[in-house]
Amino acid sequence: MNETTVNKDLPASRRFWDFSVALYAREGVTSACMELQDRHGLDINMLLFCIWRGLNDPGSITPDTMHRLVAAAHLWQREITAPVRAVRRRLKVEAGHLDEAQPPQLYRKALEFELACEQAEQLVLVRTLGMPEEEPVSADGVVTAGGVGVIAHNIATYLTVRAIRLSRDDASLTTIFGAVSPQLGGAISAEFARLCAE
């Protein structure tokens, strides 16, 4: 992301986390991610990983590798993150049954724990891919012309492996692509649409 500076001396999983936090904070990305997660069952860490690897690796993630990544992420999400998320969401609903000071404190702690679980899943993804933590990754977040195709391909491969069908012009993905690169977001969307039509 053009305006984001990432310390390239950080471990790969930390650079991935910093990239994710920066992208997630951009206008419209949070709601777009929640829409994709809640409505279509996408693992947002996997979506972000597809984008991040497209920014940092000239090669697309192969279907075999994507299967390994999805299996590792799915296990982590199902067994750890999803139950924590369910508790956090339930706390929001049940807040009226507790003392006034308890709900915000419990909710905040549950949210912090959920974020820690999400960050741990990112480490799982980095290690499943076999990236050494000290691997030199060009994590400045600048999308190159070659990265456009890799990002679109990675996401299309992820959706195929998960058997998830999104429309070629899905508004949530379009929002995220635009946040990744205001200049090349349209090109990423167009390439994604082309791949979906194949």
pLDDT of the residue at 2: 40
d(CA 127, CA 180): 24
Q: What is the distance in angstroms between the CA of the first residue and the CA of the last residue of the chain?
A: 29
Higher pLDDT: 133 or 162? It is: 162
| Per-residue model confidence as pLDDT tens digits over 66-98 | 999 999 999 988 999 989 989 888 887 776 666
Closest-CA residue to 61 (of 152, 164, 170, 145): 152
Of 83-87, 123-127, 136-140, minimum mean pLDDT range: 136-140
Looking at residues 161-182, what average pLDDT do you find?
Answer: 92
Give the pLDDT confidence score for residue 58 in this predicted structure.
Answer: 65
- Tokens matching residue 116: 């820690």
Q: In this structure, is the dihedral angle defined by the CA atoms of residues 142, 165, 190 and 195, taken in order, positive or negative?
A: positive
| Res 10 pLDDT > 70 | no
Q: Tell me the average pLDDT across 119-123.
A: 92
% of residues, the chain, pLDDT over 90: 54
According to the per-residue pLDDT averaged within each range, which of 9-18, 73-82, 128-137 is highest?
A: 73-82
Question: Could you tell me the pLDDT band of residue 102, with boundaries at 50, 70 and 90?
Answer: low
